[in-house]
Chain A
Amino acid sequence: MKKFKLRRFASFVYVAVMAVLAFMYFTNDYGLVDIRKTAVIIGAGIDRTDDNMSVTAQVAVPNPSSGGGSTRYIEVEAEGPTVAAALNGINKKTGFYPKLVFCKLIVLGQSCSEGDILEVLDYFYRDDYTQLTPSVAMCEGSARSLLGSDMAFGNTATVSIERLLSDEAKRSGNVSVADLKDIGLLQSSPSAAFFMPFIRPKSSSAGGAEQPSSGDSAGSEGKQGEGESGGGGSEFLCDRTAVFTKGAFAGVLSEEDSMAFNLLKSDVRHVFVPCSDGEELYTLGLRSCSGSATAGEEGGRPVITLSFSAVAQLADTSVPSEASQKSEGEVPEGALRAGEAAVRGMFSSLLDALRAADCDVLGLKNGLYRFAPALYRKYGGSLLSSAEVVYNISLRSAG
């Protein structure tokens, strides 16, 4: 019979206990949380009141019942002199531990445009438990009303707006999407300008964004999680872009200017551009888009070059064409030139708007600082206002 070795057995027990404890330690099993006392913030809205910050958190409340109950969403609002104080107010009000780890959207009410926007966002850059991944947007009216609105698409305002700010929307050039990281990076660049999508109700008659929140008090009745509340809800658009210089609100770009901005700065895959050649109206579908805004020097003077190239397809026209022409897919030369003129017009309008706001959201100074530091030192101060503009736009037919 094999002799029982106490020392070996003790070693084995020690290693086993150590492994179990280490596993529990690293997987946070010591930090078990009572699901009934937990709230996950999926979206946050921030408004400025007289001297305070008002934070409205859209909270997913896990429902531990086994009777098929789904996650409930409620809006909880609290005020404080800072965002952190307001979040603490939510904790005081509800007893929930507000977790921002899963927060995917931060909506700033229009009132936030009155001061330095970075004062509002500062908390999210400081908090160790908040990632820089949430999308940030500004809305017309108050963020609290927006988050409390019934949505036509999606079960909660956060989910609906997230859809509007999706990668697909970004790639179609309709939305300028920015997250906390983008904003922080752009603000700390030599250009010191950043952007975020501007959310507005589809029509003023819809009025959804201005209606008082259904969740204006702690723990107010929320929406059941599953399924979409079809019909009757508010519809919102994110096709405009709010721009900021040195933390201060500089204005809202129109839909056309926003699209021009996206063509230059975003990874746009497919975009529709309407244009006209004399009497004929065309809608060009542009693919393989490549845009850039750079600054340089030509003949001893600063120059801004706005470049754009794409492959064009004729998506629609006011004059019906024959089937053989459609199958060849060739875009008439006139339509291509008209498309280039349309794009150039959009770029020109965008640059005028940015010059008027003195907002280098195109990152021209940043480009100079990185690639031509000597030119940055020479022209950095007055680049936007003093530089000549060169347009380099090229569309080619897909057919």
Chain B
Amino acid sequence: MIKNELTVRQICVIMCALSASLKLMICPTALAAACANGLWLPVVVNSALSSGAVFVVCLLCSRTPKGFFALLSSAFGKVAMRVAAGLFALYFVLSAVIPMTEQQTMVHEVFYDTIPSILTFLPFFLLSLYAGAKGLTNAGRTAEICLPVFAVCMLFLVVMSLSECDFANLLPVFGRPAARVMAGGASSLFRFDEGALMLIFSGKFRYRRGDAAKIAASTAAGGLIVAAVCVIFYAVYGALAPTQYFAISKIALFFPAINLIGRTDIIAVYALDMVMIFALVLRVQAASYCLRVLFDKAYMPAFSVGINAVLLTVTLLLNNKFADVQRVGGAVMCVAAAIFSYVMPLVAWLAHSVGAMRAKREGSREKI
């Protein structure tokens, strides 16, 4: 039975705007360090993979109204479902750690001109705590509010940065060794995990004909936005791009009017940062939902408190360990993202097939 918690439009917005916003913090800089002027290639490839994973899950939604966990339950039993829910909850909590440390460092570096105390990041957890207790319906509505903010701010920043772009910085297009570009792409794979989110959304919306294409296209569009920002970022900073953290806050710096009237671009960066916060909170909401499936109880406030307590502890422990989080966390999360975003959709199909076969067998037994 479908609980119509999300609409297709909301899912499209989440896949396009919210997902893209989280990739605009460190991803362009990390890719510039790994792939130099070929930084946009891994984004395009990873976006294609991610859109493919989303499409696979959406196709499954066209076949069955059951969600991912319901499919697991009917195919492999409740224990398997609970194990999967627990693992997914863990995955979403872990997947929030890297963007959260990026978010914390970005705010401290962009909005503060001296290094503030870690305590100044704590208000984030108040929002996270509140939204985490609200469930996926809240996430969909929030995404719809975020869309115009995201669109206007991106347009504002891109227009401001165009005057400084030298697209010749991106030449020669395939000048970097393919192995280096592929390694860069693999290291950023964990940022393209829309497949895992889509599994959580399965069974939460009413599928209509063509929705799979719409959602997959939205995911691809989000990826193209990130690729466009990467191109602009490298066109502005060229070989200096790997030293410029938080691309989105730096691309418009050379707009002529900023020298006269001050950093007007920071208004757009500030608004965009709000969207990033909500994109980050979506991970907490997804983890809360998985815990609800695991315990079969709707103790959402308690789940949210637990998840945020873990994230807060992690934040305090990882303070000033930004580089380590990126290096170690990135490596671990790439493996995790590959499993949860790219293997699990296939597991969902397997569960669907097994469940169907089991239902068929049970049906024929009843006839006998």
Contact = CB atoms under 8 A, between A and B. Distances in A.
Interface string A16-50: 01100110111110110100000000000000000
Contacts of B114: 31, 33, 97, 99, 129
A126 B273 CA distance: 24
Contacts of A188: 238-240
Interface string B223-253: 0000000000000011110011100001001
Interface string A365-379: 000011101000000
A276 interface: no
A26 B238 contact: no
A123 interface: no
A128 B123 contact: no
The size bracket of the interface on B is 35 or more
A26 B273 contact: yes
Interface in A177-202: 181, 184-185, 188-189
Contact of A133 (B121, B259, B270): B259
Contacts of A26: 107, 111, 270, 273-274
B324 interface: no
A262 to B, nearest CB: 17
A390 interface: no
A369 B176 CA distance: 12
B243 A125 contact: yes
A18 B111 contact: no
A30 B112 CA distance: 9
B254 A28 contact: no
| A28, A133, A371: most-surrounded residue (chain B CB, <10 A) | A28
B240 A28 contact: no
Contacts of B113: 28, 31, 99, 101, 129
A116 interface: no
B256 interface: yes
A27 B111 contact: yes
A26 B121 CA distance: 9
B116 A30 contact: yes
A132 interface: yes
Contact of B239 (A18, A101, A189): A189
Interface residues of A, number: 35
A129 B120 CA distance: 18
A167 interface: yes
A185 B120 contact: no
B356 interface: no
A17 B126 CA distance: 9
B126 A18 contact: yes
Interface stretch (B72-80, B82-90, B167-175, B185-193): B167-175
Contacts of A99: 113-114
A101 B110 CA distance: 11
A184 B239 CA distance: 8
B116 to A, nearest CB: 5
B109 interface: yes
A167 B239 contact: no
A232 to B, nearest CB: 29
Interface string B119-141: 01101101100100000000000
A132 B172 contact: no
Interface in B270-291: 270, 273-274
Interface of A: 14-15, 17-18, 21-22, 24-28, 30-31, 33, 97, 99, 101, 104, 125-126, 128-129, 131-133, 167, 181, 184-185, 188-189, 369-371, 373
A-B interface, 3 closest residue pairs, ranked by CB to CB distance from nearest? A188-B239, A370-B171, A21-B123
Interface of B: 107, 109, 111-114, 116-117, 120-121, 123-124, 126-127, 130, 168-169, 171-172, 175, 237-240, 243-245, 250, 253-254, 256, 259, 270, 273-274
